[in-house]
A and B are shown apart, each in its own frame.
Chain A
Amino acid sequence: DQQVKQNSPSLSVQEGRISILNCDYTNSMFDYFLWYKKYPAEGPTFLISISSIKDKNEDGRFTVFLNKSAKHLSLHIVPSQPGDSAVYFCAASRNTGANSKLTFGKGITLSVRP
């Protein structure tokens, strides 16, 4: 049972335009959400996170929006650059005290066309 879903396996965007990557979750106990970026032959690297007490977090060209009622989050990249071409993973965790783990989606492959 996939608790974190990234239903679109791929997205292609023109350089300079906005990229919007979507993620849905089913577990209402999740209270922290993260996005990771992965290049081929490398491990995923942390990109941006958001707590459930917020509905938006921004870091440069990257903004994550959280809609708790819809159990939906999205990552916006503006403007998109060819170097942003990678696989993007959405991840979620819930506060279980000292022990916490991330549940990942399957990933979305973003291609930014020059």
Chain B
Amino acid sequence: DAGVIQSPRHEVTEMGQEVTLRCKPISGHDYLFWYRQTMMRGLELLIYFNNNVPIDDSGMPEDRFSAKMPNASFSTLKIQPSEPRDSAVYFCASSLWQQLRDYGYTFGSGTRLTVV
């Protein structure tokens, strides 16, 4: 298995531009999570899906952020318009419900976003 695949690995964009981050979870996993890592706040949960349905989006910081999971093998996190304070590393993770408690999630390598 190739693991959780995120693209792009690095993204540099100008303030005000739209940014789309992509994630392919591990095949067969029924949970998908989007996290953001910053020095100040550590790893923050933004939103998570179960069987492609958003369950909890309370961590999404503002209306500028949106996430979709149109099918079991693909999810996007979109920021529109982007701002410099959105600069962070964004991680996608997936898991099986049966493994969630004992093994947690499998994370992707992350997308490092820089908004200038």
A111 close to chain B: CB less than 8 A? no
Once the chains are docked, how many angstroms separate the CA of A72 from the CA of B3? Answer: 32
Contact B43 A101 (CB under 8 A): no
Q: Which of B1-56 contact A (CB under 8 A)?
A: 4, 33, 35, 41-45, 48, 50, 55-56
B102 close to chain A: CB less than 8 A? yes
Q: Which of B35, B42, B97, B107 contacts A45 (CB 8 A)?
A: B107
| Contact mask for chain A residues 39-57; partner B; CB cutoff 8 A; 1 contact, 0 none | 0011111100101000000
Chain B interface size band reads 20 to 34
Interface size on A, residues (CB 8 A): 25
Give the nearest-CB partner of A89 in chain B. B43
Once the chains are docked, how many angstroms separate the CA of A91 from the CA of B95? Answer: 15
Contacts of A65 in B (CB 8 A): none
Q: Which of A54-90 contact B (CB under 8 A)?
A: 89
Known contacts A42-B109, A43-B4, A43-B108; is A107 also within 8 Å of B56 by CB?
A: no
What is the count of residue pairs linking A and B with beta-carbon distances less than 8 angstroms?
A: 60
Contacts of B43 in A (CB 8 A): 44, 89, 104, 106-107
Contact B100 A43 (CB under 8 A): no
Give the nearest-CB partner of B30 in chain A. A98
| Contact mask for chain B residues 91-105; partner A; CB cutoff 8 A; 1 contact, 0 none | 101000100111111
A22 close to chain B: CB less than 8 A? no
Known contacts A99-B50, A99-B55, A99-B56; is A46 also within 8 Å of B42 by CB?
A: no
Give the nearest-CB partner of A31 in chain B. B101
Contact A98 B97 (CB under 8 A): yes
Known contacts A49-B103, A102-B104; is A43 also within 8 Å of B93 by CB?
A: yes
Residues of A bordering B, CB below 8 Å: 32, 34, 36, 41-46, 49, 51, 89, 91, 93, 95, 98-107
